[in-house]
Amino acid sequence: MTPATVFTALLSLFGYSDNRGFLCLLVINQSVASFNSVYICMDDDASIPWTKQPDVFKELKGRDGKFKEFLTRDVEALLSLYEAAHLRVRGEDVLDELVAFTTAQLESALPDLGDALAGKVRHALNQPIRTGLTRVEARSYISLFEPKGHDETLLLDFAKLDFNLLQKLHQKELSEITRFFCYPTIY
Amino acid sequence: MQRKLSFARDRVVEGYFWIMGVYFEPQYELGRKMLTKVGVMVSLIDDTYDAYGTLEELALFTDAIEKFDFVHLEIIH
């Protein structure tokens, strides 16, 4: 499984996106791996907040100030990059541009895609994971996700288990809250 | 609640779903419960103002809320 797939799968299927920097790192490392330029090391820089390292994203651009061409080669990776770029915070101008860039690239790639991938891309363009309701997005991604190989099938099984277990917990909580408002005197 | 306060919105499930969009992780059970209850309480009071009380009643109600003190909690218990 490639890091990009892991990123999309973890973010989309489970929605646990607390570690923003780590997720960006996974995708960007994946993207620049072909250039042999892993330019940031987690261990060295773990103490520095991700937001204090705006320059790392500049690696995505060439000398001419345009985004590097290889980023657009793989639509799955492009989609991961698009979702990752939405995790931006104020002041990360490169990521603002990256959102615009990946959006345009995905839109232009859309007509040539197969049904399954086109479905994912269309959904992502309409509703990035970052701005959606996490569990609603997770549920829709479970239907869109097509496992390739044993690892991803296992991941999908875990995602389904996770969704169902948490949904059960939510239902239990809701029943307790409803009971609280129906029979407040027993509390 | 609906029997005694039929004028108010009955939107507990919607309220819970809203809060679930904020915290969905299993460990935030208490946060979800409290925020949902607060949301229901607020909408209940809002509806009391908008759809139930007369002006005089609401002036008294506002007065009661403003005077609310934790000392009174002791008396209720």
Task: Please tell me the predicted confidence (pLDDT) of residue B50.
Answer: 92
Q: Is the residue at B13 inside a domain? A: no
pLDDT beneath 50, residues of chain A:
1, 17-19, 23, 29-51
* Cβ-nearest to B29 among A15, A16, A173: A173
User: Tens digits of per-residue pLDDT, A169-186?
Assistant: 999 999 999 988 887 666
Total domain count for chain A? 1
Note whether A14 and A159 are within 8 A (CB): yes
Contacts A–B by Cβ distance under 8 A = 39
Domain that holds residue B65: 22-76
Is B17 a member of any domain?
no
**So what's the pLDDT on residue B21?**
86
Cα A68 to chain center, whole Å?
21
> Is the CB of residue A103 less than 8 Å away from at least one CB of chain B?
no
Give the 3-state secondary structure of residue A14. Answer: helix
Q: Which of B9, B10, B23, B25 to mutate to test the interface with A (most CBs of A within 10 A)?
A: B25
Output the pLDDT for position A7.
54
Q: Per-residue DSSP letters for B4-69?
A: T-TTS---HHHHHHHHHHH--SGGGHHHHHHHHHHHHHHHHHHHHHHHT--HHHHHHHHHHHHH--
Name which residue leads in pLDDT, B3 or B45: B45
Structural tokens at position A38: 């892993």
Instruction: Check B24 against A178: CB less than 8 A apart.
Output: no
Whole-angstrom distance, CA of residue A136 vs CA of residue A116 = 19
Task: Tell me if B30 is assigned to some domain.
Answer: yes
Measured in angstroms, the CA of B59 and the nearest CA of chain A are apart by: 26
- Could you read off the pLDDT of A136-151 as tens digits, one per residue? 888 888 888 777 788 7
Per the structure, the count of domains in chain B is 1
| CATH code for position A56 | 1.50.10.130
Has residue B54 been placed in a domain? yes
Q: Assess A169–B contact: CB distance below 8 Å, yes or no.
A: yes
- Whether residue B12 is contained in a domain is answered as no
Confidence tier at B8 by pLDDT (50, 70, 90): confident
Kindly report the pTM of this predicted structure.
0.69
Nearest Cβ partner for B40 among A135, A169, A181: A181
Q: Does A139 touch chain B (CB under 8 A)?
A: no
Q: What is the pLDDT of residue B75?
A: 67
**Is position A178 within any domain?**
no
Q: Which range of residues forms the domain containing residue A35? A: 3-148
Tell me what pLDDT residue A103 has. 93
pLDDT of res. A15 = 58
Residue A155 lies in a domain: no
Give the alpha-carbon dihedral of A66, A69, A70, A71, to 10 degrees.
50
Residues of A within 8 A of B13 (CB-CB) are: 174, 178
Q: Residue A53's closest CA among A11, A24, A84?
A: A24
